[in-house]
Amino acid sequence: MLAITENAAEAIKTLSTDAELPDDGGLRISATDPAQGLELALAQEADAQDTVLRGEGITVFLEPAAAELLDDKVLDVQPVATEQGEQELRFAIVEQPEAPDTVQA
């Protein structure tokens, strides 16, 4: 099952709060075309076939293909340098053995 780092959980909380999502809302990860990568978006609620991960004040919805792809992975947030020389945080998928401390979701 997808693990979520503490940093990623904090980022999800912030995004959900800023977007004023309802209590059932959260981050949805989908892989409708795995060759194109994963799509992350805020969602008001889970789709009927989504796997729902809850914990540490966050909710993550995994579309079935994404759930399969991410079964042994970790969702993290990593700093990335921008063209302006600043840093921004971006979600990243890493292998579980390489991951920092995670939270149970």
Assign domain 3-95 to its CATH architecture.
Answer: Sandwich (2.60)
Question: Tens-of-pLDDT digits for all 105 residues of the chain?
Answer: 899 999 999 999 999 999 999 999 999 999 988 678 899 999 999 999 999 999 989 999 999 999 999 999 999 999 888 888 888 889 999 888 755 565 555
Q: Where in the chain are the domains? A: 3-95
- The CA distance from 5 to 93, in Å, is 10
Rounded to two decimals, the pTM is 0.84
Is residue 75 within 8 A of residue 91, CB to CB? The reply is yes
